[in-house]
Amino acid sequence: MPIASKDIVPFSQVRARLTELAEEAANGCEKIITRNGESYVALVDAGRLDYYHQLEREHIHLILLEEAAKGWADVTAGRHIGVAELKAKYGRK
């Protein structure tokens, strides 16, 4: 759902309208709260926030899978060194 101008609320109005804003957010109408004319925080439904967090975790997993695939490609192409070489390179015993 796109953000409309009515969904942008100055911080100074939040206290007086919190119940109304919370009801609207609970019904899927996200609110952007501004402070000094700049975006400050958002008021969103708790279920949608959970969904956003789930998407973020899935994105992290996809990045990890991509990195693992790159690592496997390096191994199969012979671009790797042994543990002894690694320890010698970084001065570890």
Return the pLDDT at 91.
83
Q: Which of 59, 51, 9, 57 is closest to 30 using CA atoms?
A: 9
| Residue 36, φ and ψ in degrees, nearest 5 | 55, 35
pLDDT in tens, the chain (93 residues): 678 888 999 999 999 999 999 999 999 999 999 999 999 999 999 999 999 999 999 999 999 999 999 999 999 999 998 888 888 888 876
Return the pLDDT at 35.
96
Return the pLDDT at 1.
64
For residue 5, count CB atoms less than 10 angstroms from its CB and return exposed for 0-12, middle for 13-18, buried for 19 or more: exposed
Helices then strands, each counted (H, E), the chain: 3, 3
Return the pLDDT at 93.
66
Return the pLDDT at 60.
97
Q: Which helix (H) or strand (E) holds 40?
A: strand 38-43
